[in-house]
Structure 1
């Protein structure tokens, strides 16, 4: 047994070798007792018992040998003798056995109890660490995981939805083609909406086309990033997915829609496109980003979660390397994933300044003036107004202050997700000065492992996604699509702690020098206490179910996934 916070955790994997006493007890209730007893036993009975034992043993060996292990099991590097022992600050010896059980069964919940995996189609994170040692109250609070309040994945659809699926899942006359633009997570959101729109229009979905990114010049196609067969198989009861248009529809008239209003409803989509699609057979949608309403009927909300958390599995090469890097980070103990949006294009698009000094700010300002088309919204606001409105990423100094106020220990390890920061090492210097254990994927990867993915920003972003997904705590510096996706994905797969900086409220306190460090820390922690409990999606605030899967995609009763 292992004990945490006074709670006893039972683990069937804990007793790996029976004691002599337990062996005696086992023999006392087994058929073998008669063979070891001093009393005389008829020879025929002894032969019968021995035959039974040997037959049962042979049957067990046959089953183990000829039945393959589950493909859903998680590779465990700790079992390899080539891996060095876990460092003392990471796991206690008793807890490592719980970790073993967890890796074999699918993970631990926030109370370190073994919980069932969420279905063979879902990506299952590595277990949360126990953090032993003499921690302060503030540090203990920092590492503490949320209470899931009993919410588990729950995607059971209505009878009406399932009845309609029988027809929609074999559709061969209507086809929807979607062109997804932007970075990886922007494309993921459009693919999710593409599946839902195909369902609304009762059309087959052609494998989405990934538009070449004009900023990163990434020419990756869908099969380069995602597992195509897994995508089709997971959605086969909801929407028919095909790799390409059939020859009968290649010469058909194709309506290409490039402009759609924001927040359209299923009723609007059917009224606008269904009749036309029925006549022409093919509909092409471009510019789909954030056009579908976040407030959908329950069945469609669950379909969005099914696509996001089950169907969109990364391709095998990406998943293998991402998982390897995550395990290398995890094996050394607990870690925090920081998604720092410090790339040059982010500063340009947000209309913000880096805080690195005049020479760097001049470069950003010059690009913003010469290429105003890249600026995203609120053009008339000054930099100071944008920053105080929470529209700018936190720079390294601001992130360091936030982490200190939240109670992060100086010895904590941080995985830095994101592209190369504008300003290089200088951009990260204030953060490294306070928290020296900063790790990037380039540091975790061995010689040549990242070579197949160089100059492929979507693949590199997917690797960051996987390592961040497995972290004990995830903190984005500037929201965005990856931040929202990981927040929801981590909540869906076990309520792992994610902290969204409340920039609009906290930044004025950053500039108030009259506040003591203790008071500043108290204020910052109070502003982020929602990280300690599941935050439900509120329709009146128009939140995305992918970021807030409670309560539409998670429930307190039942165990069914689909």
Structure 2
């Protein structure tokens, strides 16, 4: 017979264990929650400290404008695209001929030419003088020979690739025969492997290949410094505009310099860019229809919300916003500005606020003097102010200006190439608006009007940008925008990863070329 309380005594150990498990479970859950709270606190602290409050008076807001008129600090680096290592000359016998069609505007074509030379080197091919698309945005048929000095192009690259102006005819069985190039469409940002397999196989099979279109058809990031240096040799040494374009550009620069320092601005407020960016709301209903129609005809369908695009800095700066940035930085109304731009969308109403802040505005049309400039050059420019020749003149004037400011350096090849060229040309100063961090300030100004601390806040944003010195290339920055460190070397250092090539390197290359030719 069970005594009173015996059953309870037998159940108590189980009851204690069960209670202990419950306590442990609660403690475990509490620990996890506490851990998550700590993580969230740390996260918000990091986020709050990483996002600078540009309206805070504690953040530094001074920019030395006078320093910007001079090149940025080089840090001991100097431009150098000469080969550093064993770089054999092109052999007499190549694997075939390479033709390319470079589509797009002037600078999109320029990068395509650089890629074409590199592709020819990779495949040991003879490069046929690149074709420039006449059906591009500019509707310009100048062609390679109409824009660039062909003799300089071929001579400058003689240590790298063999170049011909056209595919020569061949004689076979007593008959003259033309080689028909096999047409291929390269993948976008194609790898070196694609060229050494797919493209090369077709070249060997047919004797020649025709790559079309050829915009962005070779990967930019290549783990081979010598290949990257070849791109720089093409871009900054071999591609020289025709003498009449250089002459006209230099005469414009001379006029601007005769009155002191000058700044150039690539004012990217044109129909194609505004349509691409999806920035419509500031325009009239009719203008919005024009932009929407252009976007539908030229770009992939995508839903874009203007307020969202604007808030994250995806819209080009308006001319007035450009003026406000420069004034906040400390430039006054005596600043002389050269405008490189096509036809501004929306008419003069967008330029008036900018002109009110900076009245000393010029462009290539206003600076051409029919009395002193070559009539031939002037006629060419007048006929092509929206074409490739006008764009080439703008490019050279912007390259030689004391300060260059792109207002939209996203997919704008003109600005991207110029930034890279100016870096290579001696770390010339650039002003690159941080649109993402400027956007909230402009939105607040539109809602409240000119508010206290606006200009100081703009200076804080701009003070954190790079004004042209050497800096690490970080995606999505293009190699053509920043070829450091591959195309630079440490002054006074010979050998090693950062060292400059031997002084007699060009003589060595010439000797190697002569040995191959003999």
| Correspondences of 1:173-322 after superposition (within 5 Å) | 174-248=96-170, 251-258=178-185, 260-296=186-222, 297-322=224-249
Q: Does the CA-based 8 Å contact 2:311-2:440 persist in structure 1?
A: yes
Q: Measure the CA separation in 2 of the matches of 1:378 and 1:508.
A: 27
Q: Measure the CA separation in 1 of the matches of 2:473 and 2:418.
A: 15
| Corresponding residue SS for 1:178 | strand
* Structure 1 residue 517 corresponds to structure 2 residue 463: no
* Structure 1 residue 431 corresponds to structure 2 residue 354: yes
| Correspondences of 1:148-547 after superposition (within 5 Å) | 148-160=74-86, 162-163=87-88, 165-167=89-91, 170-171=92-93, 174-248=96-170, 251-258=178-185, 260-296=186-222, 297-353=224-280, 355=282, 357-358=283-284, 362-369=286-293, 372-375=296-299, 379-447=302-370, 448=375, 449-456=377-384, 457-479=387-409, 480-513=412-445, 516-528=453-465, 530-531=466-467, 533-538=469-474, 541=475, 543-547=477-481
Q: Does the CA-based 8 Å contact 2:90-2:161 persist in structure 1?
A: no
Q: Measure the CA separation in 2 of the matches of 1:554 and 1:218.
A: 35
Q: Does the CA-based 8 Å contact 1:206-1:244 persist in structure 2?
A: yes
| Runs of 5+ unmatched residues, structure 2 | 1-61, 172-176, 446-450, 494-499, 507-518
Shift of 1:214: 4.1
Over 4 Å off, 4+ runs:
559-562
| Corresponding residue SS for 2:478 | coil
Shift of 1:453: 2.8
TM-score by length of 2: 0.75
| Corresponding residue SS for 1:140 | helix
| Corresponding residue SS for 2:265 | strand
Aligned to 1:112: none
Shift of 1:369: 3.2
| Corresponding residue SS for 1:535 | coil
TM-score by length of 1: 0.70
| Corresponding residue SS for 1:454 | helix
| Corresponding residue SS for 1:372 | helix
Q: Measure the CA separation in 2 of the matches of 1:281 and 1:227.
A: 27
CA RMSD across the alignment: 2.3
Deviations 1:492-544 (CA, angstroms, capped at 9, x unpaired):
1111001222112221122234661353133222332x115222324xx2533
Q: Measure the CA separation in 1 of the matches of 2:337 and 2:74.
A: 24
Aligned to 2:52: none
| Corresponding residue SS for 2:140 | coil
Q: Measure the CA separation in 2 of the matches of 1:424 and 1:542.
A: 33
Q: Measure the CA separation in 2 of the matches of 1:554 and 1:422.
A: 39
Q: Does the CA-based 8 Å contact 1:453-1:460 persist in structure 2?
A: yes
Shift of 1:336: 0.6
User: For residues 378 and 520 of structure 1, do their structure 2 counterparts lie closer, same or farther at Cα, with a shift above 3 Å needed?
Assistant: farther
Deviations 1:224-282 (CA, angstroms, capped at 9, x unpaired):
11000000000011011100001129633432113x33322212221221122112110
Q: Does the CA-based 8 Å contact 1:329-1:335 persist in structure 2?
A: yes
Match of 1:555 among 475, 489, 496: 489
Q: Does the CA-based 8 Å contact 1:336-1:415 persist in structure 2?
A: yes
| Corresponding residue SS for 1:500 | coil
Q: Does the CA-based 8 Å contact 1:294-1:543 persist in structure 2?
A: no
Q: Measure the CA separation in 2 of the matches of 1:224 and 1:353.
A: 37
Count matched residues: 415
Q: Does the CA-based 8 Å contact 1:183-1:213 persist in structure 2?
A: no
Q: Does the CA-based 8 Å contact 1:153-1:553 persist in structure 2?
A: yes
| Corresponding residue SS for 1:146 | coil
Aligned to 2:15: none
Larger radius of gyration between Structure 1 and Structure 2: 2
Q: Which moved more, 1:400-409 or 1:455-464?
A: 400-409
